[in-house]
A = this chain, B = another copy of it.
Amino acid sequence: MLYSQFFTKTERQAPSDEVSINAKLLIQAGYVDKLMAGVYSLLPLGLRVYKKIEQIIREEMDAIGGQELVMPSLQPKENWEKTGRWTAMDDLYQLKVDDKEYAIGPTHEEVIAPIAKRYISSYKDLPKYAYQFQTKFRNEKRAKSGVMRGREFSMKDLYSFHADQADLDNFYEKAIVAYKNVFKRCGIGNLTYLTYASGGTFSKYSHEFQTLTRAGEDLIYICEQCKVAINKEILDDLKSKCPVCGGNILREEKAVEVGNIFKLGTKYTEPFDLFYTDKDGNKKLVIMGCYGIGLTRLMGAVVEVSSDDKGIIWPEAVAPFKVNLISLNKDAEAEKIYKDLRSAGIEVLYDDRSEVSAGEKFADSDLIGCPWRVVVSGKTLAENAVEVKQRSKEKCEIIKINDLIKTLR
C-alpha cells in the first residue's frame, strides 16, 4: 500500500478526550475513529489488524470443530423474556418501534438455542459447535477504556451443544487449549492467564483469560507455580488459595479480560425446550457451553501491552503490514524494493510521500508500529544496502538489498 494514497493519515497529537493508551494511539495513528463514547469505526489500518486477529481465531475454532455462521442483532423481546434476561440484563439495549419491542443483541444464547432446536433431536445430532464473529451492543455506563470496553464491539462467540456433562467437560478443555493458542499467536500468550471466576448456577467456576496490563479494570491473583489466576470476585470463596495446587502464594495484578468461557448447563436449553432423545429413547435437555473472545478488546489489549512513548509495537502476526518502507528521496530505488517485497508475498506500507521530512516519516513509522522499518537512502544505496530496524529493538542494521527478503522472512 502506498502511504500517499491511504485513506487515513497519522495526526500530530493524540486525542485529548481519550484517557486510555489504546484509544490515544489507535486514533492518532489512524487505526480507528471515535464516533462517540464506546463506539469506534475500524479504519483501513485497523481493519487489517482486526482481520488478522479474526483469522487466527477462525483457524483455532475450526480446529476444534466449530462451524461458522452469523446471527442477527435485532432480536424479538419474547426470546429474552423466556430466559428472564429482558429485565435481568441491565446493559441490554431495548428498541421500541411502533408497538413492538426488540433487544439489540449483546450476546446470542437467545438466538442460537432456537436455531439448534431445528437441527438437534437425537443423540446422533450431538455434539454440535457453532460460532460467529458478530457485532455486539451493550449499554456500558463507563465506556472509558477505548476499544477495550465498547458500547458496540466485535466478538467471537462459540456455542457448544452436548448430550451430557462429560462431553461438555471434555470439549471445554479443548476450548481452553484453543484459546491459549489464540492469545499466543496474537503475541500476548506470556501475559495472559487462565483465570478462575464465578461459575453461576451450573458450574463451580467459569474461566476468563486475563491479560496483564496497568490499564486493566480487573484485579487477579496469580499462582506462578500453576500459571493460573483467580479473579478477585471469588478470592474469598477460595480462601485465597490456588484452586489447582492449594498454595497461597498469590501475586495481585491488574488485568483485562480478553476471553471467557462458561459451562451453561441447561440454563438456555430449558427455556427453549431444547431436548434430544438418548439411545434408550429418553428425552433429555441438551447441555450447553459458551466461549467468547472480544476482538476489538483483544486489539486494544495488544496495544496496551505492546507500545512505548513513540507508538504501537505490533506483534508480527497481527501487524497491519510487516514492513514500513521509507524512501528518503530515492523513490525509484525504493519503488523497486517495494515491488520485490510484495512479489515475495511480504506486506509493505510504502511511505512514498515526497513533501514530508525524514523525521516525520520515522515518527509516523514508530507510531503506526509495523514490526520492520526499511529505509532507502543515498548513503546505504552506495553500498547496495538499506537500513533495517525492528520496531521492538533499538539497533539498526545495514542489510545488502540482495539479503533483504531473507532477513524479513
Contacts and interface: CB of A to CB of B under 8 A. Distances in A.
Interface of A: 5-9, 11, 30, 33, 35-36, 39-44, 46-47, 50, 65, 67-76, 93, 95-97, 104, 111, 114-115, 118-119, 128-130, 135, 137, 139, 151-152
Given A44-B67, A97-B93, A152 B33 contact: no
A2 B317 CA distance: 31
Contacts of A9: 119
Contacts of A5: 65
27 contacts: A7-B69, A7-B128, A7-B129, A8-B119, A11-B118, A33-B118, A35-B71, A36-B76, A41-B69, A41-B111, A42-B69, A42-B70, A44-B68, A44-B130, A46-B69, A47-B70, A72-B152, A73-B73, A73-B137, A73-B152, A74-B137, A74-B151, A74-B152, A93-B95, A95-B95, A104-B104, A135-B135
Residue from A6, A36, A114, A128 having most chain B Cβ neighbours under 10 A = A36
Residue from A7, A30, A36, A97 having most chain B Cβ neighbours under 10 A = A7
Contact of A39 (B7, B35, B72, B96): B72
Residue from A30, A35, A151 having most chain B Cβ neighbours under 10 A = A35
Contacts of A118: 8, 11, 33
A75 to B, nearest CB: 7
Nearest to A5: B65
Contacts of A95: 93, 95, 104
Contacts of A76: 35-36
Contacts of A151: 74
Contacts of A130: 7, 44
Contacts of A115: 33, 41, 43
Contacts of A69: 7, 41-44, 46-47
A381 B307 CA distance: 62
Contacts of A35: 71-72, 74-76, 111, 114
A118 B27 CA distance: 11
Contacts of A152: 72-74
A76 B38 CA distance: 12
A332 to B, nearest CB: 21
Given A5-B65, A7-B129, A47-B70, 11 more contacts: A33-B115, A35-B76, A36-B76, A39-B75, A41-B72, A41-B111, A42-B70, A43-B69, A74-B152, A93-B97, A135-B135
Contacts of A68: 44, 47
A75 B69 CA distance: 26
Contacts of A72: 35, 39-41, 152
Nearest to A75: B35
A41 B131 CA distance: 12
Contacts of A135: 73, 135
Contact of A139 (B11, B97, B111, B137): B97
